[in-house]
Every structure is written in C-alpha cells, then in structure tokens.
Structure 1
C-alpha cells in the first residue's frame, strides 16, 4: 500500500515531537504542526499546467526554500549545488528503471533511498543539512522527471504517496546514520574520560 511507510514514520515523529520533546523547546509546536499539515495534505493533489502535483510536496518545497534562503551566502550556494546533483541522481535512477528495469533487483524504494542518503553523506559534511538536502533534491528530481515523461506523453503524479514513502525511508536512514555517529562520539568521549581518570588514580 503506497503511503503506508510515510504515514507510519510521520506519526512516530509527531508523537515524539508532541509528547516527548521538552515543552520549553521552541521548535516543539512548530515541528508538530508542520508534520500534521504534511500528513493532512498528503492525499490531496492539484492540477497545474497539466501536471498533477501533490499539495504536500508543494508545502514541502515552500518550507525547504524558506530554509535554504536563511542559510549564509556560501552555504546557500553549495547547498543548492548539492541539491542539483541529488536531483540528477534521482532522475537518472528513474530513467534507468524505466528503460532498463532488469538491474533493479531489490525494492526500488530502498535502492533509491540508500542512493540518496549515500550521496548526501558524500556531499554534505554538516549532518543536519543532509535531511533538507535529500528532500529538496528528491522533490526537484520529481519535477524534472515529470517534465521528461511529459515529452513521451506518460502520465505521472508529482509527489505521490509512493514518492513520500521514498523520502520517509531516506530521512529515516539519514537520521539513523546521525544517531549512530553521535552514539559513537559519546562512547569515545566517555572512554577517553575514563582512561584519563584511570591514569590519575594509578
């Protein structure tokens, strides 16, 4: 069922933001409301210039451009450059899948998600910028892929529930990568502290 992964992960994040984040956290209400709006908009589509576009993707796109606009000048330019590379990777994967589907030997959602996360890790050292990078690269890739398919008269919905599933998996994998990295750094810091204390006592 398309959208199941997206809904499952979205509700998990919403529950964590609503009930487990500190009430003093200024992003708590904003994150909860943002996810709720995204879930509500996800099944809705609108026709713009003969393109069927998911309203949730338009909402995501607007949010991401606002975020990118607040970055410093050099960071903004590099961020947009990275989104262009991810956009091309996203479109290339879909075109290979369309014209030569034999090589897609595993689930396309997981293969594309792993590709997006891997490229985001290679391109962006700032771990917190990887999440919006994946989303913006994927959304722009959706628009470009739809334009290409239109030239072949193939129908395609930009930002469908299947696309939201891919983005949800990608964000989850990237978040897991960040959590593992932080855990390793925390263990290393505590181990070094333990070693120093041990040397003082000896």
Structure 2
C-alpha cells in the first residue's frame, strides 16, 4: 500500500510535535508543516502536462527557501548526487525489474541514506540534501518517462521513500550521539556530592 510509511511517520512526527515537545514557535511550525504535508498529499495541480501534488510543491519550495542563505557547493553536490541516484534507480526498475530484488522504496531509502552520510556531516544538511535531491530526482524521473506514461510528481511512492530515508537518517543520528549521551549520564552518576 503506497503511502503507508509516509502517513505513519508524518503522524508520529505530528504527535511528537503537538504533545511531547515544549511549547515553542518551532514546535508549532513543525506540527503545521506535517499537517500540510498530510493534507496536500492527495491533492494535485496540473502545471503544463505534469501533475504535481501540493505536498511536493510545499516541501520542495520550503527546502529551497531554507537553504538559500547557506547554500554551499557541498550541498549542491550532495543534492545532485541524490537526484541522479533516485532517478537512475527508478529508471532501472522500469528497464530491468529483475535487478530490483527488494522493495524499490527500501532500496532508494538505504542508497540515499548511505550517499548522504558519505557526503554531508551535519544532520540538518543531510536532511536538506535528501529532500532537495529526492525532489529533483522525482522531477527528472517524471520528465524522462513523460512520453511513455504519465507519472505524478510527488506521489505517495515518493513520500514513502523520503519518509524511510528520514527515518534511517534519524536512526543514524541517534547512533552518532549515543556515546556522548552515555558519557554525560556516566559523568552525572559519578559526580561527587
């Protein structure tokens, strides 16, 4: 079922932001963004001969606005690498479906995660490179297959792969910060009274 991973993670993030985070403006923006992504995922707009979901437009434009001040060559490189990777995996799945031996969403998520982890160091830059690159890759894929069949830009398949990638990046970030957290707990426990 397409959209399962996306809806599940979007609701988890919304519940966390709404009920578990401290009351700040960041929390409100995150909760509103998640609701906009969930609501806009089923509505589409036609631009030329392409159909694009509102969620895709919101996510792509928001990420581009977020990086306009801190755009670097490394972020450009990593987002282009993610775009080429995601478009090539999806095109390969059409040309030779035997090569895709597992669920295509998981292959995209694992490959994109490894690619971004190799290139970017900061977690926020990893997320931005993933979102921008995945959006660009979906656009490239839709343009490449446009003459053969129509493809919705920002489909639930796209959001599933993006949600899985985000979950894998979050898990990696937790693993990166786990030793520091354990050291802090150990120092507090051994602190003299």
TM range (shorter): over 0.9
Q: Residue in 2 aligned with 1:135?
A: 131
**Does the residue aligned with 2:106 lie in a helix, a strand or coil?**
helix
Q: Residue in 1 aligned with 2:34?
A: 35
Q: Residue in 1 aligned with 2:157?
A: 162
Equivalent-residue separation in structure 2 for 1:81 and 1:119 (angstroms): 11
Q: Residue in 2 aligned with 1:60?
A: 59
Which has the larger helix fraction?
A: 1
Root-mean-square deviation (Å): 1.9
- State the TM-score, normalized to the length of structure 1: 0.89
**Does the residue aligned with 1:121 lie in a helix, a strand or coil?**
helix
Give, in angstroms, the shift of residue 185 of structure 1.
2.4
Q: 5+ unaligned residues in a row in structure 2: which ranges?
A: none
Preserved contact between residue 69 and residue 76 of structure 1 (Cα < 8 Å): no
Equivalent-residue separation in structure 1 for 2:176 and 2:88 (angstroms): 30
**Does the residue aligned with 2:51 lie in a helix, a strand or coil?**
strand
- State the TM-score, normalized to the length of structure 2: 0.92
**Does the residue aligned with 1:155 lie in a helix, a strand or coil?**
coil
Q: 5+ unaligned residues in a row in structure 1: which ranges?
A: none
Query: Which has the larger Rg?
Result: 1
**Does the residue aligned with 1:157 lie in a helix, a strand or coil?**
coil
Preserved contact between residue 91 and residue 142 of structure 1 (Cα < 8 Å): yes
